[in-house]
A and B are shown apart, each in its own frame.
Chain A
Amino acid sequence: MSLLRVEGLTKRFGGVVALWRCSLEVRPAEVHALIGPNGAGKTTLTNLVAGVFPADEGRIVFCGQDITTLPAHRRALLGMARTFQVTNLFPHDTVRGNLQLVVQARKGGAFGFWRPVEAEWELREEAERYAARVGLEGRLDVPAASLSHGERRQLEVGMALASEPRLLLLDEPTAGMSAEESRRMVDLLRGLRGEVGILLVEHDMDVVFQVADRITVLVDGRVLASGLPEEVRSNPEVHRAYLGESGSGGGGAAHAPGENGGEVLLRVEGLQAAYGTSQVLFGVDLEVREGQLVTLLGRNGMGKTTTVNTVMGLVPAKAGRVVFRGEEIQGKPPEQVAARGVALVPEGRQIFPNLTVRENLAAFQAHRNRSPDSWDPDRVADLFPRLKARWNQLGSQLSGGEQQMLAIGRALVTNPHLLILDEATEGLAPLVREEIWRSLQRLNQQGLTVLLIDKYVEQVSRLAHYHYILERGRVVWSGPSHALREDPSLWERYLSVRAGDEGADRRPGGGSSRGG
């Protein structure tokens, strides 16, 4: 008997068919991976299974019961738990508090009116057990809002587990994780195999091929293939539509203007920043020259995002200087920094959900016109044809990958002097990721200066001219690409990538190269 059976599921969002007669089956205690390009309907499918919105057609059967019209919280109580693509926690509650809520929902629910939950020791102890299971036993009293990105994802999985589900819906559990954190997550998922059924949406093919018992490939809302990993890996159609040709990532070596570049566009000196009492940056120094493509590397939680947010004026600088085109901009509010020609593509996209694609772009178009080929929405549509197809859809109806493209397009139409991308390839399919890197390289060749944060160090090191490595809020190394590539100790020490396996580990089409 199957744990979950989806039959002929169809879902439309205002005219666009997101899913078309999809069927799949998850067997008890198997890890079933759902893969496919961005916008293929993977998140839509998990949302339908979880009951976030109703299906237009088709049936969902869970443990032999038809749940097609059951509300979300009833499905949760039947034994279905999910994680979210964008982490979704109770931010003011501690790790223990978050987990304890889940245990409470399972054991008795909301309607206790007299006994304090603090006195319910069995809830507390069980919450602590799940914290230990996902490796957060040392962080029990830390509010969820203060956790690092990787820890939040761990907590997400812990919360899903704490509901003792029969089926776990995992939406990109390794998104935004460092190599080290990804590896821990893979170990955790492997430990769950045989214990709980898992429907896994994941773009990292290494993760998929390490943990999946069976794989379903979704393309354009339809099931393209379904079966054992070897079958899927050797299916030529799947290669064409999703996995891509192996080893094509990144394009050629870096080109002029080389390390020295042109004029200094952005100079950061002794930058310090803190969130409340916890200091994150302890004096960051870096330089971006006109025409360069520069990366900011380092493990999660080392201050990369804080650095660019402080440059942007989103986080106040405690000390230090930020000079952009000869003018000191530290302490200026974000809109003034943006008006001077700095554009940030923030982590987590943050597009406007209630505006259409076109409106999202039009709202940001700046008529600075510093060159004849300045950016407008039409040119963005040429860069990302997929957006063109969704031109009049609302932002909230886009898939994660499409939202990411829109976020980049939105930054481009401000016609910036400096484009900053914070994990811009987050959650994108391998093919799209490469597409974006190629576009970035092309834009850079046309003269756009780019500052890039990206976890795919191997790939971006081929695009970029110069690199800065952050460790605990300081720059610990900087240098050109060849110096970075020739020093494996750097990778091991600061980037958590074991020397020698960075290629296999971080190459977007890594899985396919072994399968071809």
Chain B
Amino acid sequence: MRNLSVPSVRRPGWVSSRVLWARGAALGVGAAVLLLFPYVSEVLDLEYYQSLATRAFILALAAAGLNLVLGYGGLVSFGHATYYGLGAYTVAILGREGVRQAWLVWPAGVLVAAAAAFLVGAVCLRTRGLYFIMITLAFAQMVYYVVVSFKQYGGQDGLRAPRTDLGFPLGEQELYYLSVVVLAACLWGLWRLVHARFGRALRALRDNEARAVAVGFPAYPVQLLAFVLSGAITGLAGVLMAHHTQYVSPSMLSWQQSGHLMFMVILGGVGTFWGPVLGVAALVALEELFHAATVHWQLFVGLVLLAVVLAAPRGLAGLVEAKLR
């Protein structure tokens, strides 16, 4: 019986070694391109694209955070703009009050987002399905209107967000590298997380909750922790975005922003690891392309999205995966 199982163990290992090579090569090339891009753009006078890339990295971080609950947890949170916006607003409000030390402001932004996610998750995770979606949205709208009502922090008009002090001058190029490093570190952490016991339990609860509970996985604590981690990562993206735009507005907390984040994840592939990154890259590129060509760019972006979602139910990552097989 033993020797029956041996080839079946070996075979997937052998296939994945080829995939590993491909992955290693892709990572190497990707890292080189990312490292050299600012210098190339400086020479070729393409600084606008460097800023666009920074924006894409930050959005990819937010989308990856959302994907943890939406994709791996199967929990459709329609309010992730809350954590994104709270992270950004923390930077702006603390900056306004004169607190600019990065070692204070950054953890504060992440903690505020995580605390909000804890409170929202603690309530929402007692519900399922449509109710879960509606309650996450309701909380997000509450936070939105609370922020709008604070006139001393800009109200409807938003607020300037001064860059924090990291101990070195933070220019556009530095921010670019910072975003790359933070995104890479978070993706690595997420990779370990979803492939570790926690990720397995989270997916088991998504696929068959009744059974996972009967097996002995506690649904509520696992899903709540995932929700908090997801909120924290999205909050970190908000902190970075405040540095990038140097300005925050209530629109970062709006339900349209939540929808935008969801769309990036769905376009890339819900519950696939690289889906959020691919989705953001595709969406940013599409918006840029159509924006330059026509004032009705949103219509065309929408049409492309519709086509992708219909043709590739598992998103862009699903298409890439099918190609690699």
- Which residues does A use to contact B, with CB under 8 Å? 50, 72-73, 76-77, 81-82, 84, 88-93, 100-102, 104-106, 108-118, 120, 128, 131-132, 137-138, 140-141, 159, 163
Contact = CB atoms under 8 A, between A and B. Distances in A.
Contacts of B219: 73
Given A72-B214, A109-B217, 16 more contacts: A73-B214, A77-B216, A90-B204, A90-B211, A101-B212, A101-B215, A104-B197, A109-B201, A110-B197, A110-B222, A111-B198, A111-B225, A117-B195, A117-B197, A120-B197, A138-B8
7 contacts: A84-B211, A93-B207, A101-B212, A117-B196, A120-B197, A131-B5, A141-B11
Contacts of A112: 196-198
B12 interface: yes
A106 B198 contact: no
B207 A73 contact: no
Contact of A82 (B1, B195, B214, B222): B214
A92 to B, nearest CB: 6
Contacts of A115: 192, 196-197
Nearest to B210: A88
Nearest to B194: A116
Contacts of B217: 73, 101, 105, 109-110
B207 A105 contact: no
Interface of B: 1, 4-5, 8-9, 11-12, 192-193, 195-202, 204, 207-208, 210-219, 221-222, 225
A138 B216 contact: no
Contacts of A137: 1, 4-5
A77 B4 CA distance: 32
A82 B210 CA distance: 12
Nearest to B9: A140
Contacts of B216: 73, 76-77, 102, 105-106, 109, 163
Contacts of A77: 216
B237 to A, nearest CB: 20
A197 B202 CA distance: 31
Contacts of B195: 116-118
A418 B4 CA distance: 46
A102 B215 contact: yes
Contact of B201 (A93, A104, A106, A163): A104
B198 A101 contact: no
Given A104-B201, A140-B5, A91 B207 contact: yes
Contacts of B8: 138, 140-141
A124 to B, nearest CB: 8
Given A106-B216, A110-B217, A117 B5 contact: no
A115 B218 CA distance: 20
A117 B200 contact: yes
A88 B192 CA distance: 28
A390 B214 CA distance: 29
Given A105-B215, A138-B4, A159-B215, A116 B208 contact: no
Contacts of B221: 110
A277 to B, nearest CB: 12
A105 B214 CA distance: 10
Central interface residue in A88, A93, A108, A113, by most chain B CB within 10 Å:
A113
A484 B225 CA distance: 61
B211 A163 contact: no
A159 B210 CA distance: 14
A112 B199 CA distance: 9
A354 to B, nearest CB: 13
Nearest to B208: A90
A105 B222 CA distance: 12
A91 B211 CA distance: 11
Given A72-B213, A137-B1, A116 B218 contact: no
A367 B239 CA distance: 64
Given A109-B197, A116-B192, A117-B200, A73 B213 contact: yes
A113 B215 contact: no
B211 to A, nearest CB: 5
A88 B215 contact: no
A73 B207 CA distance: 17
A84 B195 CA distance: 28
Contacts of A90: 204, 207-208, 211-212
Contacts of B192: 113-116
Nearest to B205: A110
A116 B215 contact: no
Given A104-B201, A137-B4, A114 B215 contact: no
A106 B208 CA distance: 18
B198 A89 contact: no
Contacts of A84: 211
A88 to B, nearest CB: 5
Contacts of B210: 88
A82 B216 CA distance: 11
A113 B189 CA distance: 9
A199 B12 CA distance: 39
Central interface residue in A101, A112, A128, A141, by most chain B CB within 10 Å:
A101
A88 B214 CA distance: 10
Contacts of A50: 214
Contacts of A111: 197-198, 222, 225
B149 to A, nearest CB: 38
A153 to B, nearest CB: 14
Contacts of A120: 197
Nearest to A118: B195
A104 B207 contact: no
A170 B208 CA distance: 19
Nearest to A123: B197
B23 to A, nearest CB: 15
Contacts of B196: 112-117
Contacts of B201: 101, 104-105, 109-110
B17 to A, nearest CB: 14
B208 A88 contact: yes
Contacts of A106: 216
B4 A113 contact: no
A118 B200 CA distance: 10
B211 A88 contact: yes
Central interface residue in B198, B202, B208, B215, by most chain A CB within 10 Å:
B215
Given A102-B215, A137-B4, A137-B5, A110 B198 contact: yes
Contacts of A104: 197, 200-201
A128 B9 CA distance: 10
A17 to B, nearest CB: 25
Contacts of A102: 215-216
A141 B12 contact: yes
A137 B211 CA distance: 22
Q: List the 10 closest pairs (A to B, CB-CB), nearest first.
A: A112-B197, A110-B201, A105-B216, A76-B216, A116-B195, A105-B215, A137-B1, A90-B207, A112-B196, A88-B211
A89 B211 contact: yes
Contacts of B200: 100-101, 104, 110, 117
Contacts of A163: 215-216
Nearest to A133: B1
A73 B221 CA distance: 12
A92 B215 CA distance: 17
A76 B198 contact: no
Contacts of B207: 90-93
